[in-house]
């Protein structure tokens, strides 16, 4: 089948999203699997001499095509889920998983990588190529290449079953989210809710041909109820629906993820034992910065001990305020966000809703691009490409008139789109002959779409938290797009240790708290006036509001994840819920209600690659806060936080290096020393 007939087989440029249909998936994947297996069979044959050119390059060429085509299918499955596309995805996922498992266990290929490592040519290879060979040898061992045949077969079964269960976990969360609807007929029941939230709910009901207001479990829809709705019963209703989705307490038993969690943990444990490890956490940490599970748990518990006094103080203040000012005698989980917003308004004399009026989408995007252009001496320009939805925008990044990278920006929540925010790569940077293949990224968020009020179109308005999310994902995007490494296996985010991959994303978030940045990215939706300095000062004063509680919450999730994969016996009587309860009993200051089933939609660790790796957010935050302090130091001396000199060094030593050297080496090359936790504690207001 030719690329003219099947757009998934066209690798001449960008994906042809306007032409891809579910019926293209099976034939394209079949053709690419055949092509890749033919190349693998040829490369298995004895060679007089193994070289980069006659072995690694042809293998990369064949597998890259499969990876790119399947990447398009996976991306569409995440952002425009339909029954037909889901069926095509689920039909082909086992075939793709089987191929990668076979490849990872191929002893002939493993032997050739070993021969390449031991050859006289190895010393003359670039550092990037050496790193790719070292990573490949490590991954063959982790992929079961050294297992006897019967255990290899079982390992392959585990991978296939694991991929299917992770997909099912994700589908259950999406289906439970899409299915839920709360209709409110009486506007008086929505007292306290901002006008834009009501307009969005009204429009949602109208699209369904219903009167009143419709609320869903998509974040921009349900969260304003938790944050602003005066009616306590309404808050409890939406809270309960959200924390029980995809559980035995949810709407439909077939969407319950409880058994999927138990099965995933058993499969991971079995995989670890097959490979000769004590537990899955040890397997997960092999390609990461952290040395062992005990080190991670020690790091997290230390952070918990530092944060706990601040968290206890946060909660005591909130309970006293809720009782005295709001008449809430016993603070419940569905009151916390509401009471916190009211306390913030009283203490700092502003509300998130007031701030939101200044963050209109066009101005925010313009301000984000200004930061990137100032720091890294590049230009961001509108570009054209076919997309999967009318709301998706496409841009290019240039340096000195030369294309560096491109990205799709898909900002709004909608039916059939997975929740959360993420960056993924559409293709990586590599040298093909004399020509550089430039990287392309997907940047995906779930913000509220623009609305029409009284016949007049209004731009999408972002909360400051959403602006931070946008910067976070763009930081990942820059890591992928600004790479200068020409070897696919370690360019951009490829080959970067998982617990360091959040460094650029969390680093970029810091600029959302700088006056020189915000005054250029705000304009009031009605008046066009920039954010007033007095309001900015209040935001800064409130920056670390409840940071103790927030830090402890992240540590709780990370410890739950690590203990599940380290010292929990998935074949024993204890459930994942009991592991979570135990972590909470030791570290949480506010225990959620017994019906809370947070873990049943914890896609990061059960469907998103963060298993025994959720600690990465806090681990990398030590690196990112310390890296950002270099810009603070430059700003203190030169008066400009957007220091082009510091930005150039950050780009050269961290962003452009990709995975060509260890993250710690890159960090030390930028900072000139080992990382320190001091900046993280200072940024979070958790210093004495």
Chain segment 31-45, per-residue pLDDT in tens:
999 999 999 999 999
Does residue 358 lie within any of the structural domains? no
Last residue of a domain, one of 221, 254, 287: 254
Provide the pLDDT for residue 551.
97
From the list 189, 161, 185, 194, the residue with the least C-alpha distance to 263 is 161
Angle between helices 107-118 and 22-44 (to 10 degrees): 60
Asked if residue 38 belongs to a domain, the reply is: yes
Reported as a single tens digit per residue, the pLDDT across 524-533 is 999 999 999 9
In a domain, 33, yes or no: yes
* pLDDT 10s digits, 643-663: 999 999 999 999 999 999 999
Look at strands 213-215 and 456-458 and give their pairing.
unpaired
User: Is residue 582 scored above 80 in pLDDT?
Assistant: yes
For 366-383, what is each residue's pLDDT tens digit? 999 999 999 999 999 999
Residue where one domain finishes, among candidates 614, 632, 660: 614
Q: Are residues 250 and 261 in the same domain?
A: no
Co-location of 239 and 265 in the same domain? no
- C-alpha distances in Å from residue 157, one per residue of 37, 152, 154, 224, 281: 19, 9, 5, 44, 20
Task: Output the pLDDT for position 4.
Answer: 76
User: Are 133 and 220 in the same domain?
Assistant: no
**Whole-angstrom Cα distance, residue 64 to residue 382?**
27
Q: What are phi and psi of 432, to 5 degrees?
A: -120, 105
What are the tokens at 612? 């025994």
**Domain shared by 70 and 115, yes or no:** yes
Structural contact between residues 429 and 479, judged by C-beta atoms closer than 8 angstroms: no
Is the backbone of residue 144 left (phi > 0), alpha (psi -120 to 50) or beta? left
Residue 236 and residue 346 in one domain: no
Residue 402 is assigned to a structural domain of this protein:
no
Does residue 14 sit in the same domain as residue 129? Answer: yes
Q: Which of 591, 614, 637 is the last residue of a domain?
A: 614
pLDDT band at 1 (very low <50, low <70, confident <90, very high): low
- Asked if 307 and 246 sit in the same domain, the reply is no
Digit-coded pLDDT (tens) for 133-174? 999 999 999 999 999 999 999 999 999 999 999 999 999 999
| pLDDT at position 548 | 96
Tell me, yes or no, whether 111 and 225 share the same domain: no
Which of 60, 64, 473, 632 is the catalytic position? Answer: 473
Question: Does residue 268 share a domain with residue 335?
Answer: yes
Describe the crossing of helices 232-243 and 219-228 by its angle, rounded to 10 degrees.
Answer: 140
Q: Which residues span the domain enclosing 138?
A: 7-146
Are residues 246 and 140 part of one domain?
Answer: no
Q: What values do phi and psi take at 46, rounded to 5?
A: -55, 145
Active-site residue 473, yes or no? yes
- Total structural domains within the chain: 3
Same domain, 575 and 609: yes
Do 62 and 142 fall into the same domain? Answer: yes
- The reply to whether 462 falls in a domain is no
pLDDT digits (tens, 9 = 90+) for 470-526: 999 999 999 999 999 999 999 999 999 999 999 999 999 999 999 999 999 999 999
* Backbone torsions φ then ψ of 216, nearest 5 degrees: -125, -175
CATH number for 599: 1.10.1370.10
């Amino acid at each position: 089948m030719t690329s003219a007939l099947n757009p998934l087989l066209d690798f001449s440029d960008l994906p042809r999203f306007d032409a891809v249909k579910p019926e293209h998936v099976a034939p394209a994947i079949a053709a690419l699997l055949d092509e890749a297996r033919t190349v693998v069979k040829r490369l298995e044959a004895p060679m007089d001499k193994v070289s980069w050119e006659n072995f690694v390059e042809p293998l990369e060429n064949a597998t890259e095509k499969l990876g790119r085509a399947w990447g398009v299918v996976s991306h569409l499955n995440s952002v425009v889920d339909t029954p037909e596309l889901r069926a095509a995805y689920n039909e082909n996922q086992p075939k793709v998983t089987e191929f990668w498992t076979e490849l990872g266990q191929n002893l002939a290929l493993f032997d050739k990588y070993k021969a390449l490592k031991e050859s006289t040519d190895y010393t003359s290879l670039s550092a990037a190529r050496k790193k790719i060979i070292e990573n490949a040898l490590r991954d063959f061992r982790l992929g079961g290449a050294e297992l006897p045949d019967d255990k290899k077969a079982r390992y392959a079964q585990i991978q296939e079953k694991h991929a299917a269960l992770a997909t099912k976990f994700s589908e259950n969360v999406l289906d439970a989210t899409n299915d839920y609807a709360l209709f409110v007929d009486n506007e008086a029941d929505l007292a306290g809710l901002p006008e834009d939230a009501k307009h969005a709910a009204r429009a949602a009901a109208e699209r369904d041909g219903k009167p009143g207001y419709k609320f869903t479990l998509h974040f921009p829809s349900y969260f304003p109820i938790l944050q602003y709705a005066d009616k306590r019963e309404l808050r409890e209703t939406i809270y309960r629906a959200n924390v029980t989705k995809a559980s035995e307490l949810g709407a439909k038993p077939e969407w319950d993820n409880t058994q999927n969690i138990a099965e995933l943990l058993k499969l991971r444990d079995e995989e670890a034992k097959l490979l000769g490890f004590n537990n899955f956490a040890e397997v997960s940490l092999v390609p990461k910065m952290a040395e062992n599970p005990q080190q991670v748990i020690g790091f997290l518990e230390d952070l918990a001990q530092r944060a706990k006094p601040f968290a206890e103080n946060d909660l005591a203040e909130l309970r006293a305020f809720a009782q005295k000012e709001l008449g809430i005698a016993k603070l419940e989980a569905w009151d916390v966000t509401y009471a916190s917003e009211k306390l913030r308004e009283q203490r700092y004399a502003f509300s998130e809703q007031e701030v939101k009026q200044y963050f209109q989408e066009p101005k925010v995007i313009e301000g984000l691009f200004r930061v990137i252009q100032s720091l890294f001496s590049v230009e961001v320009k509108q570009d054209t490409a076919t997309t999967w939805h009318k709301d998706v925008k496409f841009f290019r990044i240039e340096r000195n008139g030369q294309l560096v990278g491109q990205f799709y920006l898909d900002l709004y929540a909608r039916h059939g789109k997975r929740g959360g925010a993420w960056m993924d790569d559409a293709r990586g940077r590599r040298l093909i002959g004399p020509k550089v293949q430039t990287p392309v990224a997907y940047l995906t968020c779930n913000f509220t779409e623009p609305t029409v009020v009284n016949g007049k179109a209004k731009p999408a308005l972002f909360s400051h938290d959403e602006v931070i999310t946008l910067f976070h994902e763009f930081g990942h995007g820059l890591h992928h797009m600004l790479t200068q490494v020409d070897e696919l296996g370690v360019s951009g985010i490829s080959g970067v240790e998982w617990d360091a991959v959040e460094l650029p994303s969390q680093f970029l978030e810091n600029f959302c708290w700088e006056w020189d940045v915000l005054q250029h990215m705000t304009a009031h939706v009605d008046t066009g006036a920039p954010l007033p300095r007095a309001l900015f000062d209040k935001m800064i004063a409130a920056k670390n509001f409840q940071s103790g509680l927030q830090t402890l919450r992240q540590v709780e999730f990370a410890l739950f994840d690590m203990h599940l994969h380290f010292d929990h016996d998935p074949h024993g009587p204890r459930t994942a819920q009991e592991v979570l309860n135990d972590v909470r009993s030791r570290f949480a200051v506010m225990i959620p209600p017994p019906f809370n089933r947070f873990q049943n939609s914890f896609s990061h660790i059960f469907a998103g690659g963060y298993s025994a790796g959720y600690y990465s957010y806090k681990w990398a935050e030590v690196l990112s806060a310390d890296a950002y302090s270099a810009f603070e130091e430059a700003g203190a001396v030169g008066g400009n936080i957007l220091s082009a000199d510091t930005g150039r060094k950050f780009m050269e030593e961290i962003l452009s290096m990709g995975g060509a050297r260890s993250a710690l080496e890159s960090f030390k090359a930028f900072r000139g020393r080992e990382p320190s936790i001091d900046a993280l504690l200072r940024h979070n207001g958790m210093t004495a």
